[in-house]
């Protein structure tokens, strides 16, 4: 491609609405343009990168024997209603009606339709197992699109689905896909960490996320360097030390004027925060019988030295959403903000959930449910009874690993892929069954596996750039070679030599972006660095006198010369060396 013909405009200044470096550079280099919040146009350079990523995805899926299909973006409500997710998905799903009044949505994902398709085609165990995949547009009306391509509303996803007879087949397919994902990200030039994760809206029995580590990541990951434990903080567990065993002491009310935080209370009474109980007041949306949604006051008790993990709580009580309770809602159950405890509240209106450590931590300090007063020696089981006892604590730096006891550490990351063991959640709801050897009917066991294409592109831009611009890996770069001609009106021989090299590179099957524009050398070099093509070749008068083409490796800045007669060999050697780099 000649740059004089390329639909491209590079920018010298970062756009004001670009939040992070990768987003800024993708706009400045002419890869994308933002249409509205979370919705982007891909320009020719950006589309080439996307297509390179998709080619890698197809190659790896095809190598597993997965078959590509294409299911509609616009989906009827009925399959979603049968699975129960039409109501539970929430405002992220874009719903509308056609002219006949039928409910439809823009598919945020495709589990329902894939399960329904399998149910329509599969009848016998002889048809199992198999995998299907697609590379398809999705739409989720994200409340807070951010970071350019990293959190979009309209995006492309490679989603694959496995269909098996039983859990053993699912486990085998899950591990196979896990390894394929590691190969995909490696081929795209991205280092990832696979971590245990929450199943969330997808449901199922297990999940992993593939995380690219970056300080701008939305997720906190919990890692043990002494063993292989890695988990998203949403589901991370750790060893908890119970309080020192003591017999319950008499409840004792203490005057604590102006003391309305855990830290202030511990300092005022001279006790460690491990000897305190923290009260957290929430309102939850919970699905009752026949799908009816009701608000439930949730009173959480956790030890004062720990933080609540809301994902654990949400899963434990099967809540659709959580929000902080208002002051009026708190006082309506007989509690007091800043001085709350479960002692003496109106229990008939409250779901009382306590962390698993609370029953093993005797004689805690907790609020007395009136301003400026606390209780000493509050004991779960004697002074109040919990409705649910479960792990609610968020893992922090330094907490002991649940597997080996070594200190955990936390890092930030961006999710670039996920895999789920769906089990029979969707096949049971959508009647996707098969008959076994005895003629007995069973639900098909499913797995789901997703990679966001634009998100992967955005993460690569975020992690692979420098002060001059983007640094694409060879495997996904829009072009492999940037050919820069320094010809002027006074040096037609340079233009002729550049045209000849361009033709040779194309004949050799190499992808070349040929800068034949009538621009200054500095402009051309800056654009080549900004766009981030792995190898730059420069043809100028001085180089021709030496019989050389000058080269520069974008990633390292290494420069040198290649003899004109050996251009193809030299370029291939340089590109192969770059392909081998991590």
538 and 572 together in one domain: yes
Say how far residue 226 (Cα) sits from the centre of its chain: 25
The whole-number pLDDT of residue 293 equals 79
Within-domain flag for 36: no
- Of how many residues is the chain composed? 582
Question: Into how many domains does the chain fold?
Answer: 3
Secondary structure of residue 268 in the 3-state scheme: helix
Distances from the Cα of 310 to the Cαs of 104, 105, 315, in angstroms? 32, 29, 9
Mean pLDDT calculated for residue range 522-546: 96
500 and 439 together in one domain: no
| pLDDT value at 262 more than 70 | yes
Quickly list H helices, 223-354: 262-269, 310-317, 327-332
Q: How far apart are the C-alpha atoms of 385 and 437, rounded to whole Å? A: 51
What pLDDT, in 10s, does the model give residues 94-126? 999 999 999 999 999 999 999 999 999 999 999
Mean pLDDT calculated for residue range 283-310: 88
The whole-number pLDDT of residue 89 equals 87
The whole-number pLDDT of residue 505 equals 97
Tokens representing 118?
A: 């399998």
443 and 357 together in one domain: no
Burial of 372 (0-12, 13-18, 19+ CB in 10 A): middle
- Residue 235's pLDDT band, with cuts at 50, 70 and 90, is very high
Within-domain flag for 470: no
Within-domain flag for 89: yes
What pLDDT, in 10s, does the model give residues 163-176? 999 999 999 999 99
Distances from the Cα of 410 to the Cαs of 17, 224, 396, 459, in angstroms? 30, 9, 7, 20
The whole-number pLDDT of residue 289 equals 64
CATH of the domain at 337: 3.90.960.10
| pLDDT value at 578 more than 70 | yes
The whole-number pLDDT of residue 290 equals 59
Q: Is 121 in contact with 67 (CB distance < 8 Å)?
A: no
| pLDDT value at 427 more than 90 | yes
- Residue 266's pLDDT band, with cuts at 50, 70 and 90, is very high
Q: Is 446 in contact with 162 (CB distance < 8 Å)?
A: yes
Within-domain flag for 42: no
Q: How do strand 74-76 and strand 103-106 relate by DSSP bridges?
A: antiparallel
Nearest-Å Rg of the Cα atoms of the chain is 30
| pLDDT value at 291 more than 70 | no
271 and 350 together in one domain: yes
Mean pLDDT calculated for residue range 439-459: 97
The whole-number pLDDT of residue 535 equals 98
* Strand-pair partners of 473: none
The whole-number pLDDT of residue 448 equals 96
| pLDDT value at 533 more than 90 | yes
| Residue range of the domain that includes 384 | 252-390
Q: How far apart are the C-alpha atoms of 97 and 111, rounded to whole Å? A: 21
| pLDDT value at 438 more than 80 | yes
The residue written with tokens 């779960």 in the block is 380
Mean pLDDT calculated for residue range 5-10: 95
Kindly report the backbone phi and psi dihedral angles of residue 400, in degrees, each rounded to the nearest multiple of 5, phi listed first: -75, 135
* Percent above pLDDT 90 for the chain: 88
Within-domain flag for 397: no
Cis ω before 129 (30° cut-off from 0): yes
Within-domain flag for 34: no
CATH of the domain at 158: 3.30.930.10
Burial of 294 (0-12, 13-18, 19+ CB in 10 A): exposed
Q: Is 513 in contact with 483 (CB distance < 8 Å)?
A: yes
The whole-number pLDDT of residue 582 equals 66
498 and 453 together in one domain: no
487 and 441 together in one domain: no
279 and 344 together in one domain: yes
Distances from the Cα of 477 to the Cαs of 51, 188, 506, 535, 554, in angstroms? 10, 10, 16, 10, 11
88 and 227 together in one domain: yes
The whole-number pLDDT of residue 244 equals 74
Q: How far apart are the C-alpha atoms of 233 and 400, rounded to whole Å? A: 14
- Residue 146's pLDDT band, with cuts at 50, 70 and 90, is confident
pLDDT, mean over the chain: 94
100 and 167 together in one domain: yes
Q: Is 117 in contact with 150 (CB distance < 8 Å)?
A: no
Instruction: For the sheet with 512-515, list strands across it.
Output: 512-515, 481-485, 535-539, 548-553, 559-563
65 and 185 together in one domain: yes
Q: Is 248 in contact with 379 (CB distance < 8 Å)?
A: yes
- The residue among 205, 130, 199, 174 whose CA lies nearest residue 424 is 205
Tokens representing 528?
A: 């080549």
Tokens representing 66?
A: 């997965």
The whole-number pLDDT of residue 199 equals 80
The whole-number pLDDT of residue 200 equals 75
The whole-number pLDDT of residue 546 equals 94
Within-domain flag for 214: yes
Its pTM stands at 0.91
What pLDDT, in 10s, does the model give residues 179-228? 999 999 999 999 999 999 988 767 677 899 999 999 888 899 999 999 98
346 and 454 together in one domain: no
CATH of the domain at 550: 3.40.50.800
What pLDDT, in 10s, does the model give residues 400-409? 999 999 999 9
Distances from the Cα of 489 to the Cαs of 265, 485, 494, 519, in angstroms? 81, 12, 10, 12
Within-domain flag for 212: yes
Mean pLDDT calculated for residue range 331-350: 93
Q: Is 429 in contact with 444 (CB distance < 8 Å)?
A: no
196 and 156 together in one domain: yes
Q: Is 163 in contact with 131 (CB distance < 8 Å)?
A: yes
The whole-number pLDDT of residue 349 equals 87
The whole-number pLDDT of residue 16 equals 80
């Amino acid at each position: 491609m000649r740059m004089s013909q390329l639909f491209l405009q590079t920018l010298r200044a970062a756009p004001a609405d670009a939040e992070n470096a990768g987003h800024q550079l993708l706009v400045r280099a002419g890869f994308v343009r933002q249409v509205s919040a979370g919705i982007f146009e891909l320009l020719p350079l950006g589309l080439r990168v996307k297509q390179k990523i998709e080619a890698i995805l197809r190659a790896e899926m095809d190598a597993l024997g997965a078959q590509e299909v294409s299911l509609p973006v616009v989906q009827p409500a009925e399959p979603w209603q049968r699975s129960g997710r039409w109501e539970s998905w929430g405002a992220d799903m874009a719903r509308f009606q056609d002219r006949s009044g039928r409910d439809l949505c823009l598919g945020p994902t495709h589990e329902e339709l894939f399960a329904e398709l399998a149910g329509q085609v599969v009848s016998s165990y002889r048809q199992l197992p198999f995998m299907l995949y697609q590379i398809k547009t999705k739409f989720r009306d994200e409340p807070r699109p951010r970071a350019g391509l990293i959190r979009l509303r309209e995006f492309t996803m490679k989603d694959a689905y496995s269909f098996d007879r039983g859990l053993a087949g699912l486990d085998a397919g899950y591990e196979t896909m896990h390894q394929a994902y590691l190969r995909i990200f490696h081929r795209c030039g991205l280092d990832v960490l696979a971590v245990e994760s929450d199943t969330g809206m997808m449901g199922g029995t297990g999940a992993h996320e593939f995380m690219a580590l970056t300080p701008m990541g939305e997720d906190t990951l919990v890692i043990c360097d002494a063993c292989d434990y890695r988990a998203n903080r949403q589901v991370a567990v750790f060893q908890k030390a119970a309080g020192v065993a003591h017999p319950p002491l008499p409840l004792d009310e203490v005057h604590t004027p102006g003391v309305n935080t855990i830290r202030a209370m511990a300092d005022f009474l001279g006790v460690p925060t491990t000897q305190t109980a923290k009260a957290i007041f929430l309102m939850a949306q919970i699905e009752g019988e026949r799908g009816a949604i009701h608000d439930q006051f949730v009173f959480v008790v956790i030890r004062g030295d720990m933080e609540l993990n809301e994902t654990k709580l949400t899963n434990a009580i099967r809540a659709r959403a959580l929000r902080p309770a208002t002051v009026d809602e708190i006082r309506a159950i007989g509690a007091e903000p800043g001085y709350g405890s479960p002692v003496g509240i109106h229990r008939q209106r409250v779901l009382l959930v306590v962390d698993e450590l609370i029953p093993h931590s005797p004689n805690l300090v907790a609020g007395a449910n009136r301003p400026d007063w606390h209780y000493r020696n509050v004991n779960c089981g004697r002074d109040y009874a919990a409705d649910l006892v479960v792990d609610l604590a968020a893992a922090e730096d330094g907490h002991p690993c649940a597997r080996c006891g070594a200190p955990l550490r936390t890092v930030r990351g961006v999710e670039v892929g996920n895999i789920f063991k769906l089990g029979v959640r969707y096949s049971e709801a959508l009647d996707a069954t098969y008959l076994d050897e005895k003629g007995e009917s069973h639900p098909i066991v499913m797995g789901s596996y997703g990679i966001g294409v634009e998100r992967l592109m955005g993460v690569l831009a975020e992690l692979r750039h420098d002060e001059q611009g983007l640094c694409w890996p060879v495997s996904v770069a829009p072009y492999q070679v940037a050919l820069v001609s320094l010809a002027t009106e006074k040096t037609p021989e340079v233009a002729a030599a550049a045209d000849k090299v361009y033709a040779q590179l194309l004949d050799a099957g190499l992808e070349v972006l040929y800068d034949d524009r009538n621009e200054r050398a500095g402009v051309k070099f800056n654009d080549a660095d900004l766009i981030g093509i792995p190898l730059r070749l420069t043809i100028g008068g001085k180089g021709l006198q030496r019989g050389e083409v000058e080269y520069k490796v974008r990633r390292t800045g290494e420069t040198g010369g290649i003899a004109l007669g050996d251009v193809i060999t030299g370029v291939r050697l340089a590109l192969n060396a770059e392909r081998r780099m991590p």
